[in-house]
A and B are shown apart, each in its own frame.
Chain A
Amino acid sequence: MNECVLVVDDDREIVKAIRILLQKEGYEVLEAYDGLQALDILSTRRVHLVLIDVMMPKLDGLSAILKIRERQNIPIIVLSAKSEDTDKVIGLSMGADDYVSKPYNPQELAARVRSQLRRYTSLGDINAERQASEIRNGRLTLRTDEHILYADGEPVKLTATETKIVELLMRNLGRIFPAEEIYRRVWEEEAFASENTVMVHIRRIREKLEINPKEPEYIKVVWGIGYKMEKKEG
């Protein structure tokens, strides 16, 4: 059975474009053009994920999210032309799981949908399955006994050095490591011209585990200080 995605936007062309995109990915797509319609569909059909615009007639996106969250905890991705940080924060605090600003990159959007659905459907009740040898951060899970990193439940192919870096950062979520320290602890050598080496690795890791490597969510550069892994909910 295919997962069912509800796309809500007052711009019918965008809805159609997303529908084409997602149908190609193999999802069943339902369409709505305002908040009220979306709520109607949600009350009659079983939906696995909602993609919703913020600014819509009748019932705006944020209010609709609040209504949906009263009954369902399905993943909700907000689509919005507002790209300010504050707008993102508001959207996420209203109960959305992810935020994609317009104009979006279609591939990125598809990847985010996939990620959210996988976490919702295949991982199910995440907390119950938690194991002692696991470090979990958002969509990432590190099995320390196997030294394998999973993103959305799928193993990420990392080299040995990359795994070491990820392990260091994941064991110290939120802590900022200067390049020298990372170099010393991963390569176990005295740091020399470490910035470039570390940065290259960081970039490669990002490309492998971030949905949009240009706007990384997990592995972040703290400019002028060092590198860190952002702590995520869930």
Chain B
Amino acid sequence: MDTKWKKRKVKLSFIIYFLGISLLIGSVLNIVWLWRGEDFSWQKLRDTVTNHLFAAGEEDYQNKEVFREEISRELEIFLTMATGGSISGHFVGNAYILDGINAMVTDSGIIWGNVPGNDGSEYKIRIITQEATTSQEETVLEGPQDGSSDPIQYYKFYTWPNDDSWLYQDNWEEYLERGNYSQEQEEEYRKKRGQLEADWKEAARQYHESIRGDKNLLYGIYNDGELLYSNLNDGQAEELLNWQQLDSAVEEGRNIPVPYGYNFVLYFDGQKVSIYKDGKAVDVYGNGFYRDENDWYVPGYTNFPVDEDYRSVKIYMAAAKEPVQYTEGRYGSSYYRLSCPLYWMSQESSTSSMLKMQFLLVLLAVSLLLLIVAFMMKKSRKAAAQIISEVTVRFWIEIKILIWISVLWILFGCWNLTDGIYRGDWYGWPERTVASSSLLLLFWMLYLSVNELRYQKGEILKHGITAKLIALFSIRELKLPLAQRVMRRNFILYFSVVLPGVSLLALLIVILFQINGWNYLSYDFQRRFIWIGISVFLILFLLLLVLCYFIGKKNRQTVSDLERLTDRIGEIRNGKYEPGEGEIPPSDHDLYQAMADLEDIRSGIETAIEEQMKSERMKVELIANVSHDLKTPLTSIISYVQILKQEENLPEHVKDYIKILDEKSQRLKNMVQDVFTISKAASKELPVNIEVLDFGKLIRQTLADMDEEIQSSVVNFRTNLPVEPVMIRADGQRMYRVFQNLFQNAIKYSLEGSRVHVTLKQDGQVAVASVKNTSRMELLSSVNYAERFTRGDESRTDGGSGLGLSIAQSFTEACGGQFLLETIADLFVVTVSFPVVEEENPGFAQPELSNN
């Protein structure tokens, strides 16, 4: 129940987010376009908003681009009319309406008249067009053909043979001369041209007739000082249409007069166009260069000069401040409304853009509301984004890149097609739809990509043909032995040097050919070769560069693995058997197998050592138990021997027996103790208390401690010990035992009357103590005297346990020293060495505690 709601919430949150963002982008874009349609400026923006929202219909249609287009088109037509040219081919009004007269233009000729618009509005327009495609002879159609309520005034079709189309052109006489026609033919053509010009004139007249009723646009057209066409009434004409006055007004920068109710005036004086709006001059030419449709499309720019023919023409045009609908005909009988483009323009701009703006603002508000809701559902939205990323990441990356490229390409095309974001108002809404939907598409594609990057960063590259190929390749590669793998990579490296080199060489040769003008190869071939060569070279170079990069990466990886491997080997060699810090690398590494094998070896050794330690411990335990078990009866023996010893009145020989019992039991006791100690030392479980001490003093103390024993022995001790301290790190108690054992050993086994030499010297960083004595018995080189239970006396009748030297050795090693035993002939030499401690401290100031 709860989870179900959660799932729904996730879906809902994304839908809300999606709608919110889409509406936001759509509405904001459209609002911007709507504003921009009226020459964007912040001042106007404010005005527009107030106008659109609060004062419908107050807006000035004359600021719109459509108005500018209409005016400039009319000026163009008027100029043509004034010079007697063909006005066909001009579209006045909205090109969209062309569909409605499709049937009438297909057969070509000059068509003009009022045509119903097919956009459902009352919008009517005059169309004059021409096309010469059929070979039909002259056809004349008159009157309305379809019986519609809107009368079509006049149709006239001319059809010309295709090759006669030059007659339409301005330089027709040149064609005539060049054509080498016969006198008769020439006459015929001249007649045809005359007919054409008469028709054009008639068309101009008809056009004038059709528009003169629309008093929203007043005009007067002069040529050579003669008023040709005008729709001003006589009084107005007399007052306003005086071209001498107008010219002087322009020259002096005075205002050009307009009739009452008109606020826009354009005057063409044969050189340039002057425009006044609301009594103020309008900057028509800007910096003097025509750039785009933002400017007035009128002649007179530096890069758009006035035709020679038009120099004698003067045109006066005035537009109404508030256009109205004019009608024509007789009230009561044939009565129809004239097409009044300016009227519709003003109507359209004020109502529809207001409605549009309101609608867009509502959309904007809705989108903002949706977005607020979406942001409140942040958690669910994130979950949704994650789910989406999980879905989208599965698509192949190559497909995604292709989609991106094609969308961008198409968008780029669209952009050029619509020439940026179209500025028209009613015009070009399909383009605008395309633009806004493509921007939306772009946004959502961006969203998906960013989303993927955010949640599936590591995954993106894993889905795709390339990744699959690489995986396939590397799996195959891994099956090869290491040497072959490296070899293959080296090949690629060689190629990366050789291939671009070879292609470069070839290029150089061809370029040389070209420079020297050796024409063994055609120029075309050379050129093509160079271009192909350069591209191949570059592609190869890039490809190999990428390959080199990856190989380098791999090599670096291998080398670092190798370093780890050797480090690991070193560690294991040094007795560090714990698992290493670094994990074994992934199986696609070159040295994976080696490292894994080493790891196996390591863990093998580790287990072996553990087991050895375990058995060693068990041995110690066993010995400890045995010695304990031995000690209990030994205690009784010693106790009763003691009691016996105190017994009086015993025969002398019994006392002797008791004495032997006493001695042997004491020896047994020592042996049990030694065996226990040695087994502990051998298993490295001997606790040691390491501190800094004076080696020389330790030896002196030991000697002093054993003074009595030494004095009563058959040997003499010669010592050579430095006075200054020789500081070492060791356990004093254990080392005392070491030297005690060594001295006892020397006393016990030395030749009678011989000397025992005890020396200590510092040899660099090592303090070496040695005990040398001459053996009473022959020393056998085959015997290791430090071995447990080995004694100089094989009969084992002396008091020792045979463990003295062994214990000495174990203790020295437990303290971190070196114990060396040498026999040279009868000379028995033991050296005990320790590293010297550098710092000259009092020694006992900082005793250091440590175990093992």
Seen from chain A, the residues whose Cβ lies within 8 Å of a Cβ on chain B are 11, 13-14, 17-18, 20-21, 24, 81-83, 85, 102-107, 176, 178-179, 195-196, 198-200, 203, 221-226
Contacts and interface: CB of A to CB of B under 8 A. Distances in A.
Contacts of B701: 179, 195, 199, 221, 223-224
B732 A85 contact: no
Given A17-B640, A21-B642, A223 B844 contact: no
A105 B736 CA distance: 23
A203 B703 CA distance: 13
Contacts of B676: 83
Contact of A224 (B628, B635, B687, B735): B735
Contacts of A176: 844
Contact of B736 (A18, A24, A102, A221): A221
A223 B642 CA distance: 33
Contact of B732 (A13, A20, A178, A223): A223
Contact of A221 (B640, B691, B705): B705
Contacts of A20: 643
A26 B846 CA distance: 49
B797 interface: no
B695 A224 contact: yes
Contacts of B640: 13, 17
Given A17-B636, A17-B640, A103-B638, A199 B735 contact: no
B707 A199 contact: yes
A225 B691 CA distance: 10
A223 B628 contact: no
Contact of A103 (B631, B646, B728): B631
A11 B636 contact: yes
B632 interface: yes
Contacts of B665: 103
Contacts of A107: 642
B730 interface: yes
Nearest to B634: A103
Contacts of A200: 704, 707
In order of increasing CB-CB distance, the 5 nearest A-B pairs are A224-B693, A223-B732, A199-B704, A224-B698, A17-B639
B711 to A, nearest CB: 11
Interface string B670-687: 000100100000000001
A104 B673 CA distance: 12
14 contacts: A14-B632, A17-B643, A21-B639, A82-B628, A83-B673, A85-B687, A103-B634, A104-B639, A195-B697, A196-B700, A199-B707, A221-B701, A221-B736, A224-B698
B705 A199 contact: yes
A24 to B, nearest CB: 7
B740 to A, nearest CB: 10
A61 to B, nearest CB: 14
B733 interface: yes
Most buried by B among A18, A81, A195, A223: A223
B140 to A, nearest CB: 134
A179 B669 CA distance: 33
A198 B736 CA distance: 17
Interface string B683-727: 000010001011101101111110100000000000000000000
Contact of A18 (B639, B669, B707): B639
B259 interface: no
Contact of B636 (A13, A83, A224): A13
A24 B646 contact: yes
Nearest to B698: A224
A174 to B, nearest CB: 11
B113 interface: no
A204 to B, nearest CB: 11
B693 A225 contact: yes
A81 B643 contact: no
Given A21-B639, A107-B642, A224-B697, A81 B631 contact: yes
B707 A223 contact: no
A11 B735 contact: no
B669 A225 contact: no
A83 B642 CA distance: 21
A13 B643 CA distance: 12
B843 interface: yes
Given A103-B669, A195-B701, A199-B701, A222 B732 contact: yes
A179 B730 CA distance: 20
Contacts of B697: 178-179, 195, 224-226
A196 B845 CA distance: 24
A211 B642 CA distance: 17
Contacts of A102: 631-632, 634-635
Contacts of A224: 693-695, 697-698, 701, 728, 730, 732, 735, 843
Interface residues of B, number: 39
Contacts of B687: 85
Nearest to A175: B844
Given A195-B701, A203-B705, A225 B844 contact: yes
A102 B633 CA distance: 10
A79 B795 CA distance: 36
Given A17-B636, A107-B642, A203-B705, 15 more contacts: A14-B632, A17-B643, A18-B639, A83-B673, A103-B631, A103-B634, A106-B639, A106-B643, A176-B844, A195-B703, A199-B704, A223-B693, A225-B693, A225-B843, A226-B697
A157 to B, nearest CB: 20
A81 B732 contact: no
B811 to A, nearest CB: 12
Nearest to B629: A81
Contact of A223 (B637, B638, B735): B735
Given A13-B636, A224-B697, A225-B844, A81 B628 contact: yes
B632 A11 contact: yes
A22 B637 CA distance: 17
Contacts of A18: 639
A226 B646 CA distance: 39
Given A24-B646, A103-B669, A14 B636 contact: yes
Contacts of A196: 700, 703-704, 707
Contacts of A199: 701, 704-705, 707
Contacts of B635: 11, 14, 81, 102-104
A107 B635 CA distance: 13
Nearest to B645: A106
Contacts of B704: 195-196, 198-200
A3 to B, nearest CB: 21
Nearest to A86: B687
A193 to B, nearest CB: 9
A19 to B, nearest CB: 10
Nearest to B641: A106
Given A106-B642, A176-B844, A224-B697, A81 B735 contact: no
Contacts of A223: 693, 698, 701-702, 732-733, 735-736
Nearest to A176: B844
A108 B637 CA distance: 16
Nearest to B704: A199
Nearest to A228: B844
A178 B687 CA distance: 25
A138 B128 CA distance: 136
A34 to B, nearest CB: 15
Contacts of A203: 705
Nearest to B731: A223
B548 to A, nearest CB: 65
A196 B691 CA distance: 23
Contacts of B702: 223
Interface in B609-629: 628
B637 to A, nearest CB: 8
A54 B700 CA distance: 40
A21 B646 CA distance: 10
A99 to B, nearest CB: 15
A11 B736 CA distance: 36
Nearest to A222: B732
A219 to B, nearest CB: 12
Interface in B112-139: none
